[in-house]
Amino acid sequence: MSTISPTGARDLAAVFHPMTQISTLNEQGPMMIVRGEGIHVWDEEGKQYIDGLAGLWCTSLGYANEEIAAVAYEQIKTLSYGHLFLDKSHDTAMRLAEKLKEMVPCDFSKVFFGLSGSDANDTQIKLVRYYNNAIGRPRKKKIIARQKAYHGITFAAASATGLQPFHQGFDLPVAGFLHTDCPHHYRFAEPGESEEAFASRLADSLEALILREDPDTVAAFIAEPIMGAGGVLVPPATYFEKVQQVLRKYDVLFIADEVITGFGRTGQAFATQTFDLAPDTMSLAKSLTSAYMPLSAVMIPEFMYQAIAEISKEWGIFGHGFTYTGHPVSTAVGLKVLEIYERDNVFDNAARLGEQFQAHMARFADHPLVGEVRGRGLIGACELVANKATGQAFDPASAVGKYALARMKANGLICRAIGDSLALCPPLITSQDELGEIFTRYGKSLDETLEWVRREGLLAA
Ligand SMILES: Cc1ncc(COP(=O)(O)O)c(C=O)c1O
């Protein structure tokens, strides 16, 4: 018997669901969410869930914040729309750009606004091309990303993304995108290889790739400080230090994709600080507005801006920008969100809560199903394995992660299964009690999954 509700059926008849296995959705129907408040959401039957992934790693201040709603309402009454093309500008875009320059721990000159993490990364890639053309290096165009990276789904961003489902069927990646090794020590280190030795090997491999391609053709390296959609992969010790040395040696720009990690997620304001990065440019989105409005920002250094400004004498307009670049309601909301982060010490509180979060996570290291526990600050994942001693993965056909996810949902916790890794990324405003409740539900779901795995005989001998 179908369990699809009447609204679910209406939805299926009209909505094309993104990032979804459509055949399964058509059998099972969507989960209709009707309301959100704080860290909770409710479905159409009135069941309450903790939103353990902060929406899509983005609702840092939780749902239904009255102050943010009031700012959006006032902004709509004052100036509901304004753009930044040609000579136009407006107050909220200007002030948010100023605020971001002040807040971000690198010396950036200008802020380019978009609406999503994907368009921010597309802008980055177009800027790199434009810049190298402007300064007379037309061959220096290739972009290096990493296997398992997620940088979004627009043409260029999806080409940088290093996960197969985002390429399959789309004829991606397009030419000029290369993928170097994924820095996941647990899965890809040689037996007995330390994190440091693994990091050295990956930096050497990156250098070899650049040399093979010819350094004069390699323009930029794009990386998430912690790889989110790839499975919450935390870089091994010394990785970025060594990678950045290689990039500097061959004059390859470093684009930091802080779309998930920016704004307090990893225990500091930006993961650039957590991992001691010195990026040339940075992509921001998601928690920039705590997902109350769509907004992204590309942080641009002076040397790049100057080269682009100079060439405009010859080339005319810089032909890139969106109808909604710097949208007044999005930027007004962004300003309010950043004000709340500062006023309420949200990042410091998140850093303290992050320590408790990691301590809760660490307890699952003893769980018979868990091969690796990983994370930093308020983001983490447990990877479930068929053999704890060897790290042997489950057969993907057993869909163990999917089963665990269903148990979490039944237990009132929304999280994300990335293969058999179960990711958590709760709102930064989660209280200690709520955090305890998240892990009670998470642990119960893992135990229920273990019972099922044993019943089905899925553990490796
Ligand atoms: C690191 C990273 N970059 C870019 C994106 C793409 O952002 P959007 O979905 O807003 O286009 C995401 C989305 O999850 C992301 O995690």
Q: Give the CA distances from residue 421 to residues 229, 321, 383, in Å, rounded to whole numbers and listed in that order.
A: 10, 37, 4
Q: Probe ligand 1: pick from 59, 259, 260, max atoms within 8 Å of CB?
A: 259
Does 416 lie in the same domain as 272?
no
Cα separation, 62 vs 19, in Å, equals: 23
Does 102 lie in the same domain as 45?
no
Contact 429, 62 (CB under 8 A): yes
Amino acid at 166: F
Q: Residue 3's pLDDT is what? A: 82
As a whole-number percent, the residues of the chain with pLDDT over 90 amount to 99
Sign, CA torsion 396/402/407/408: positive
Residue 196 lies in domain:
67-343
Residue 156 lies in a domain: yes
Residue 5 lies in a domain: no
Q: Residue 461 — very low, low, confident or very high, per pLDDT cuts 50/70/90?
A: confident
pLDDT digits (tens, 9 = 90+) for 363-420: 999 999 999 999 999 999 999 999 999 999 999 999 999 999 999 999 999 999 999 9
Q: Probe ligand 1: pick from 113, 150, 232, 284, max atoms within 8 Å of CB?
A: 150
Does 390 lie in the same domain as 333?
no
Buried b (16+ CB within 10 A) or exposed e, 70-84: ebbeebeeeeeebbb
Contact 406, 442 (CB under 8 A): no
Q: Residue 236's pLDDT is what? A: 98
Sign, CA torsion 450/453/456/458: negative
pLDDT digits (tens, 9 = 90+) for 190-218: 999 999 999 999 999 999 999 999 999 99
Q: Is the CB of 272 under 6 A from ligand 1?
A: no
Sign, CA torsion 405/408/412/418: negative
* Domains held by the chain: number: 2
Classify residue 321 by burial, with Cβ atoms within 10 Å: 0-12, 13-18, 19+: middle
Read off the DSSP letter of residue 235: P
Mean pLDDT (the chain) is 97
Cα separation, 97 vs 85, in Å, equals: 16
- pTM for the full model? 0.98
Contact 369, 453 (CB under 8 A): yes
Find all residues with CB under 8 Å of 15, minimum gap 6, and list them: 30
pLDDT digits (tens, 9 = 90+) for 112-123: 999 999 999 999
- 3-state DSSP assignment of residue 428: coil
- Distance, CA 28 to ligand 1 centroid (Å)? 26
Find all residues with CB under 8 Å of 122, minimum gap 6, and list them: 152, 154, 155, 156, 157
- Is residue 239 over pLDDT 80? yes
Listed residues 343, 369, 404: the one ending a domain: 343
Q: What CATH number should be reported for the domain holding residue 406?
A: 3.90.1150.10
Please report how many Cα atoms fall inside a 13 Å half-sphere around the Cα of residue 417, on the Cβ side.
Answer: 20
Here the tokens at position 96 are 């948010």
Does 450 lie in the same domain as 330?
no
Residue 22 lies in a domain: no
Cα separation, 369 vs 459, in Å, equals: 9
Does 109 lie in the same domain as 50?
no
Q: Residue 2's pLDDT is what? A: 63
Contact 112, 130 (CB under 8 A): no
Listed residues 343, 375, 394: the one ending a domain: 343
pLDDT digits (tens, 9 = 90+) for 341-364: 999 999 999 999 999 999 999 999
**Nearest CA, atom 16, ligand 1:** 260
Read off the DSSP letter of residue 60: T
Contact 435, 356 (CB under 8 A): yes
pLDDT digits (tens, 9 = 90+) for 323-339: 999 999 999 999 999 99
Number of CB atoms found within 10 A of residue 340's CB: 17
**Nearest CA, atom 8, ligand 1:** 117
Q: Probe ligand 1: pick from 146, 234, 286, max atoms within 8 Å of CB?
A: 286
Does 71 lie in the same domain as 60?
no
Q: Is the CB of 426 under 6 A from ligand 1?
A: no
Listed residues 323, 343, 363: the one ending a domain: 343
Taking residues 279-287, report their average pLDDT: 98
- 3-state DSSP assignment of residue 321: coil
- Distance, CA 25 to ligand 1 centroid (Å)? 23
Does 419 lie in the same domain as 397?
yes
**Nearest CA, atom 3, ligand 1:** 151
* Element of type H or E holding 305: helix 302-315
Residue 1 lies in a domain: no
Does 300 lie in the same domain as 269?
yes
Q: What CATH number should be reported for the domain holding residue 279?
A: 3.40.640.10
Give first-to-last CA distance, the chain, whole Å.
37
- 3-state DSSP assignment of residue 413: strand
pLDDT digits (tens, 9 = 90+) for 46-97: 999 999 999 999 999 999 999 999 999 999 999 999 999 999 999 999 999 9
Does 349 lie in the same domain as 230?
no
Residue 245 lies in a domain: yes
Cα separation, 22 vs 16, in Å, equals: 9
- Any idea which residue has 């002030």 for tokens? 95
Does 404 lie in the same domain as 327?
no
Q: Residue 58's pLDDT is what? A: 98
Strands 421-424 and 416-418: antiparallel
- Distance, CA 192 to ligand 1 centroid (Å)? 34
Residue 10 lies in a domain: no
- Distance, CA 113 to ligand 1 centroid (Å)? 15
Q: Is the CB of 224 under 6 A from ligand 1?
A: yes
Residue 323 lies in a domain: yes
Does 89 lie in the same domain as 215?
yes
- Is residue 102 over pLDDT 70? yes
Cα separation, 350 vs 335, in Å, equals: 20
Residue 37 lies in a domain: yes
Amino acid at 253: L
